[in-house]
Amino acid sequence: MRVKAQVAMVMNLDKCIGCHTCSVTCKNVWTSREGTEYMWWNNVETKPGVGYPKMYEDQERWKGGWQLKNGKLELKAGGKLRKLANIFFNPDLPSIDDFYEPWTYDYETLTNAKPSEHQPVAQPISQLSGDPLDLQWGPNWDDDLAGTPETGHLDPNIRGELEESVRFEYEKVFMAYLPRICEHCLNPSCVASCPSGAMYKREEDGIVLVDQEQCRGWRYCVSGCPYKKTYFNWETGKAEKCTLCYPRIEAGQPTICSETCVGRLRYIGLVLYDADSVEEAASVPDEKELLEAQRRVFMDPNDPEVVEQARFDGIPEDWIQAAQRSPIYPLAIDWGIALPLHPEYRTMPMVWYVPPLSPVMGFVEGEGSEADPDDVFPAIDELRIPIQYLANLLSAGDEEVVRRVLKRLAAMRGYMREKNLSGAGVEEIAASVGMEPQAIEDMYRLLAIAKYEDRYVIPLAHKELAHELYEQRGSQGLDFAASRAPAANGGNAAYSCSLDFAGGPGSCASGETGAPGGSPRNEGFYAMKDELEKKARALGGKVAAPNVQFFKNKQDFESFHLKGRGPQGAGA
Amino acid sequence: MNLWHQFLWVIFPYLALVTFVLGHIYRYAYDQFGWTAGSSQLMERRLLMWGVLLFHWGILFVFIGHVMGLLVPIEVYRAMGVSDHSYHLLALWAGTLFGVIALAGILLLNIRRWFISRIRTNTDTMRFLTDGLLLVVIFSGLAATVGYRIYAAQYDLPAEFEYRENIAPWFRSLFYFAPQIELMLEVPLMFQLHVLLAFLLFALWPFSSLVHVFSVPLGYLRRSYIQYRSSNPKAAISREKDRRKSRKPVGVDQGRKE
Q: Which among B220, B232, B242 has the least Cβ separation from residue A80?
A: B220
Q: Which residues of A262-282 are buried (b: 16+ CB within 10 A; e: fewer)?
A: ebebbbbbbbbbbbebbbebb
Q: Which chain B positions have a beta carbon within 8 Å of A84's beta carbon?
A: 217-218, 220-221
What per-residue string of b and e applies to A459-494 under the rule 16 or more CB within 10 Å gives b?
bbbbeebbebbbeebeebbbbbbbeeeeeebeebee
CATH code, domain carrying B54: 1.20.950.20
Of residues A354 and A546, which shows the higher confidence score?
Answer: A354
The confidence score (pLDDT) of residue A525 equals 67
**C-alpha to C-alpha distance for A159 and A157, rounded to whole angstroms:** 6
Asked whether the beta carbons of residue B239 and residue A469 sit closer than 8 angstroms, the reply is no
Contacts of A126 in chain B (CB under 8 A): 118
Mean pLDDT of A34-44: 96
pLDDT at A334: 95
d(CA B33, CA A236): 8
What pLDDT digit, counting tens, does each position of A330-362 carry? Answer: 999 999 999 999 999 999 999 999 999 866 665
Q: How confident is the model at residue A490 (pLDDT cuts 50, 70, 90)?
A: very low
Specify the number of domains making up chain B.
2
Is the per-residue pLDDT at A90 higher than 90? yes
**Facing A217 at nearest CB: one of B37, B56, B239:** B37
What mean pLDDT do residues A502-513 have?
A: 36
Query: pLDDT by residue (tens digit) across B63-103?
Result: 999 999 999 999 999 999 999 999 999 999 999 999 999 99
Q: Please, what is the Cα angle at A509 between A508 and A512, to 5 degrees?
A: 150
Residue B212: pLDDT band by 50, 70, 90 thresholds? Answer: very high
3-state secondary structure A93-139: CCCHHHHCCCEEECCHHHHHCCCCCCCCCCCEEECCCCCECCCCCCC
Question: Does residue A210 carry a pLDDT above 90?
Answer: yes
Q: In the predicted model, what is the mean pLDDT of residues B165-180?
A: 95
Q: Which of A196, A314, A465 sits opposite B215 (nearest CB)?
A: A196
Higher pLDDT, A14 or B231: A14
Rg of chain A over Cα atoms, rounded to whole angstroms, equals 26
Greater model confidence, A219 or A548: A219
**B157 and B244 belong to one structural domain:** no
Span A545-552, average pLDDT: 48
Q: Are residues B232 and B179 in the same domain?
A: no
If DSSP codes are grouped into helix, strand and coil, which group holds residue A368?
A: coil
Which residue of A69, A99, A216 to mutate against B (max B Cβ within 10 Å)?
A: A216
CB-nearest to B121 from A91, A128, A232 is A128
Q: Which residue of A has its CA nearest to B34?
A: A236
For residues B176 and B58, state if they share a domain.
yes
Instruction: Tell me the residues of chain B between 50 and 69 that have a Cβ less than 8 Å away from chain A.
Output: 52-53, 56-57
pLDDT band at B37 (very low <50, low <70, confident <90, very high): very high
Q: How confident is the model at residue A506 (pLDDT cuts 50, 70, 90)?
A: very low
Q: Residue A149: its pLDDT value, please?
A: 80
Please report the pLDDT score of residue A233 as a whole number: 96
Q: What are residue A202's phi and psi, to 5 degrees?
A: -75, 130
Closest CA of chain B from A65, distance in Å? 13
Q: Do A89 and B40 touch (CB under 8 A)?
A: no
In chain B, what residues touch A219 (CB-CB under 8 Å)? 39, 41-42
Tell me the three state secondary structure of residue A352: strand
B188 and B243 in a common domain? no
Residue type, B114: W
pLDDT at A501: 34
Judge whether residue B12 has pLDDT over 80: yes
- What is the rounded average pLDDT of the residues A358-374? 56
Q: Which whole number is the average pLDDT over B197-201?
A: 98
A75/chain B closest Cα distance in angstroms: 10
Chain B neighbors of A196, CB-CB under 8 A: 215, 217, 220
For A233, nearest residue in chain B (alpha carbons): B42
* Per-residue pLDDT at B151: 87
How does residue A215 score in pLDDT terms, banded at 50, 70 and 90?
A: very high
Cβ pair B239:A311 closer than 8 A: no
Per-residue confidence band for B176, with pLDDT thresholds at 50, 70 and 90: very high
B48 in contact with chain A, both atoms CB, cutoff 8 A: yes
* Mean pLDDT score, A25-52: 95
**Residue B19 predicted with pLDDT over 80:** yes
Averaged pLDDT, B35-45: 95
Q: Taking every pair of C-alpha atoms in chain A, what is the biggest distance, in angstroms?
A: 79
Q: Do B252 and A311 touch (CB under 8 A)?
A: yes
Co-location of B217 and B232 in the same domain: no
A225 vs B contacts (CB less than 8 Å):
none
Yes or no: say if A385 and A48 are a contact pair by the CB < 8 Å rule. Answer: no
Stretch 27-46 of chain B: residues touching chain A, C-beta under 8 Å: 32-45
Beta bridge partners of A43: A180
Report CB contact under 8 Å: B35, A216.
yes
Residue A314 DSSP SS3: coil
Residue B206, min C-alpha distance to chain A (Å) = 15
φ and ψ of A11, to 5 deg:
-120, 130
Residues of A in contact with B48 (CB under 8 A): 89
Instruction: Tell me what the pLDDT averaged over chain A comes to.
Output: 82
- Pair (B83, B98) in one structural domain: yes
A361 near A43, Cβ under 8 Å? Answer: no
Where residue A523 falls among pLDDT bands split at 50, 70, 90?
A: low
Rounded to an integer, what distance in angstroms lies between the CA atom of residue A227 and that of residue B54? 31
Helix (H, G, I), strand (E, B) or coil at A492: coil
Does one domain contain both B111 and B208?
A: yes
Which residues on chain B are in Cβ contact (under 8 Å) with A311? 252, 255-256
Residue A44 host element (H or E) = strand A43-47
The whole domain housing B255 covers 228-258
Q: What is the pLDDT confidence band of residue A495, given thresholds at 50, 70 and 90? A: very low
Mutation for testing the B interface, residue in A2, A104, A211, A234 having most B CBs under 10 Å: A234
**B252 and B129 both lie in a single domain:** no
Instruction: Residue window 165-194, chain B: list those with CB within 8 Å of chain A.
Output: none
Higher pLDDT, A371 or A65: A65
Do B250 and B144 sit in the same domain of this protein? Answer: no
The pLDDT confidence band at residue A566, using thresholds 50, 70 and 90, is very low
Q: What is the dotted CATH code of the domain comprising A266-455?
A: 3.30.70
**What element of type H or E holds A226?**
none
| 8 Å CB contact of A88 and B56 | yes
B231 and A218 within 8 Å at the Cβ level: the answer is: no
Q: For residue B60, give the chain A residue with the closest CA.
A: A88
Residue A89 contacts B, CB cutoff 8 Å: yes
Q: List the one residue out of A378, A396, A399 whose CA is nearest residue A388.
A: A399
Same domain? For B18 and B42 the reply is yes
Closest CA in chain B for residue A519: B231
Distance from CA of A191 to the nearest CA of B (A): 6
**pLDDT, chain B, mean:** 91
User: What's the whole-number mean pLDDT along residues A54-64?
Assistant: 95
Does residue A329 or residue B247 have the better pLDDT?
A: A329
b/e code A335-354 from CB counts within 10 Å (16+ = b): bbbbbbbbbbbbbbbbbbbb
pLDDT at A462: 77
Residue A362 CA to residue A340 CA, distance in Å, equals 25
Chain A: give the shortest CA distance to residue B86, in Å.
31
Same domain for B178 and B251: no
Within an 8 Å CB–CB cutoff, is residue B222 touching chain A?
no
Across the interface, whether the CB atoms of B41 and A188 are under 8 A apart is answered no
In 3-state terms, what secondary structure has residue B217? coil
pLDDT exceeds 50 at position A262: yes
- What pLDDT, on a 0 to 100 scale, did the predictor assign at position A512? 38
Shortest Cα distance from A303 to chain B (angstroms)? Answer: 15
- What are the extents of the domains in chain A? 10-100+138-180+190-242+254-259, 266-455, 463-571
Give yes or no for A468 touching B (CB within 8 A).
yes
Cross-strand partners of A68: A73
Best probe of the A interface among B49, B113, B122, B226, by most A CBs < 10 A, is: B226
Q: In terms of domains, do B123 and B235 share one?
A: no
pLDDT digits (tens, 9 = 90+) for A372-424: 555 667 677 766 567 888 999 999 999 999 999 999 998 998 899 889 988 77
Q: Report the residue of chain A nearest B233, measured CA to CA.
A: A203
Q: Do B221 and A81 touch (CB under 8 A)?
A: yes
